[in-house]
């Protein structure tokens, strides 16, 4: 049996209001309901597990009554971090279960059915799969402060892990270092070297992560050099669902938590398993700001969108 763990733990702080972002309406229906319906559309047999902060569950149940929402799911309590929330969701998957489990952001209501299917089917052999899209903006690495160390440039940023050495060309272990980044849509970013992904094939990569709310620039603060352009074709924006062999994800989530766990791929990668990339879809945005709601409404109603 296959599973999906839909993690919805947002507090809506970037929206500037009190209603958590996953409960805000797009097209007259809460974001989270659209997300759940998307996975039910993919498969009637998929076991859906919703992870929601305990303090928000009564409100969610009232919304379900209001909107006559009857899609079946199991409910787990949110944890202190995303890592712990996924652990709580995984606890509802039997220890002897076989198949594929996906982990998806509750505020991504527009993954295409094709992308969902490709993630699940590829994971049956590759065991750890994430959807990605190319970076279209120019990226600059910024150096400042006269320091030779690295400094965080925005308190909302997640870490970026840059992988050096021969990791991407011959599979050998290289050197890694952590940098900090800011990216507009709170996306994770992956760096792709060699022939792994540039030729359109599904490849294996190591991970680079970024998150922030204001800037589209990936930043590294180091030394006296002001800035430099980095080749954007070596990076990818990471989406969800991230899909894994059930036993692999369960084993990886038994590791002690660390701050480098910015998504589920980073957890599995830390456990020692490589990550396979497949194509995502542009409409699969993460709704975190009021602007994202405007974009989501446009996606929902555009005749050019694959989301209908």
Q: Closest by alpha carbon to 82, among 236, 278, 265, 271? A: 265
pLDDT of 124 over the 90 cut: yes
In this prediction, residue 45 carries a pLDDT of: 97
How much is the pTM? Answer: 0.77
pLDDT of 102 over the 70 cut: yes
pLDDT of 143 over the 90 cut: no
In this prediction, residue 303 carries a pLDDT of: 83
Mean predicted lDDT score pLDDT of the chain:
80
Angstrom distance (rounded) from CA 143 to CA 197: 28
Q: Which of 1-5, 151-155, 229-233, 278-282 has the lowest mean pLDDT?
A: 151-155
Percent of the chain surpassing pLDDT 70 = 70
In this prediction, residue 145 carries a pLDDT of: 56
Percent of the chain surpassing pLDDT 90 = 64
CATH fold of the domain at 3-112+281-301:
Spore Coat Polysaccharide Biosynthesis Protein SpsA; Chain A (3.90.550)
Q: Which of 12-21, 136-145, 245-254, 266-275 has the lowest mean pLDDT?
A: 12-21
Mean pLDDT of 261-286: 96
If pLDDT is split at 50, 70 and 90, which confidence band does 189 have? low
In this prediction, residue 180 carries a pLDDT of: 37
- pLDDT tens digits, residue range 160-180? 334 334 344 333 333 333 333
* In the chain, ranges of CATH 3.90.550.10 domains: 3-112+281-301
If pLDDT is split at 50, 70 and 90, which confidence band does 236 have? very high
């Amino acid at each position: 049996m296959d599973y999906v763990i839909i993690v919805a733990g947002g507090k809506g702080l970037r929206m500037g209001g009190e209603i958590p972002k996953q409960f805000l309406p797009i097209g007259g229906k809460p974001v989270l309901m659209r997300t759940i319906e998307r996975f039910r559309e993919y498969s009637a047999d998929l076991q859906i597990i919703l992870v929601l902060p305990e303090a928000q569950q009564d409100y969610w149940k009232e919304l379900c009554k209001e909107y006559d929402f009857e899609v079946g799911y199991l409910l787990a309590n949110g944890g202190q971090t995303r890592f712990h929330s996924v652990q709580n969701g995984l606890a509802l998957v039997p220890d002897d279960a076989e198949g594929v489990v996906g982990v998806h952001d509750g505020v991504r209501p527009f993954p295409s059915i094709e992308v969902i299917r490709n993630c699940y089917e590829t994971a049956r052999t590759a065991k750890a799969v994430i959807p990605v899209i190319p970076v279209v903006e120019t990226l600059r690495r910024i150096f400042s402060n006269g320091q030779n160390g690295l400094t965080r440039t925005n308190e909302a940023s997640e870490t970026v892990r840059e992988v050096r050495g021969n990791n991407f060309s011959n599979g050998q272990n290289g050197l890694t270092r952590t940098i900090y980044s800011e990216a507009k849509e709170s996306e994770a970013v992956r760096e792709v070297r060699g022939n792994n992904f540039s030729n359109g094939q599904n490849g294996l990569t190591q991970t680079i992560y970024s998150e922030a709310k204001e800037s589209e620039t990936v930043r590294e603060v180091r030394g006296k050099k002001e800035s430099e352009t980095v080749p954007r074709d070596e990076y990818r924006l990471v989406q969800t669902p991230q899909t894994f062999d059930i036993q692999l994800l369960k084993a990886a989530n038994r590791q002690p938590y660390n701050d480098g766990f910015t998504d589920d791929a980073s957890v599995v990668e830390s456990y020692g398993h490589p990550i396979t990339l497949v194509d995502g879809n542009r409409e699969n945005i993460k709704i975190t700001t009021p602007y994202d709601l405007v974009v989501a409404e446009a996606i929902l109603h555009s005749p050019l969108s694959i989301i209908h």
